[in-house]
Structure 1
Amino acid sequence: MKKPLGTALMIGALAGCIGPQDTPPEENACGAAQMQALIGTPVAAQDFSGQAAVRILPPGSMVTMDYRPDRLNVEHDADGVITRIACG
């Protein structure tokens, strides 16, 4: 009896932590929209030092699933060519 009750209490406590977002996250807080012209160019030729947070993601990279609207994600292929730029 204690096991189902403990499990129910844990699920109830976790459900209280999860809720709908009141406002949608800013989709361009990292400036990705202005950088779309870089797609197709070599990632090594770009300077992202002006960004607060940047992740350069080679193919098959393992990444955390946390969403940060201010973080710039730059994905590239095996040849080092940028394939996607997005916030997150």
Structure 2
Amino acid sequence: MLLLVAACAPQPPVAREQASAGCNAEAVQQFVGQPADATAAEALRVSGAKSLRRYATGDVLTMDYRADRLDVESAANGRIVKLTCG
């Protein structure tokens, strides 16, 4: 019975650093300022992420979190302004 009660106890939330083990955004910060069209695929490879989401600043995005996804935000001029995992 004690085992069943323990299984129902709330679990601590997983920290984003732990959850993003499949994506390393720090490794791709050198791509900030580069053209997104030319470097997004290379950034994906270097980050170790399994998928890529490209979007422009101000675009509407879903709020889903995927630890194995690299998010590439680009400005109106097509240059990368931000790289994050999630």
Tell me the CA shift for residue 69 of structure 1. Answer: 1.2
Structure with bigger gyration radius: 1
Corresponding residue of 1:12: none
Aligned pair 1:24/2:15, yes or no?
yes
Shift of 1:86: 0.4
- For 2:56, the equivalent position in structure 1 comes to 58
Partner Cα distance (2:64, 2:82) in 1: 18
Q: What is the DSSP-based 3-state SS (H/G/I as helix, E as strand, rest coil) of the residue aligned with 1:35? A: helix
> Which has the larger share of helix?
2
Contact 1:40–1:83 under 8 Å retained in 2: yes
Q: Which runs of 4+ in 1 moved over 6 A?
A: none
Aligned amino acid, residue 58 of structure 1: A
Unaligned runs of 5+ in 2: 1-9
Unaligned runs of 5+ in 1: 1-17
**Distance (Å, rounded) in 2 between the aligned partners of 1:54 and 1:79:** 20
Residue 80 (structure 1) aligns with? 78
Cα distance in 1 between the residues matched to 2:71 and 2:40: 13
CA distance in structure 2 between the aligned counterparts of 1:82 and 1:54, rounded to whole angstroms: 13
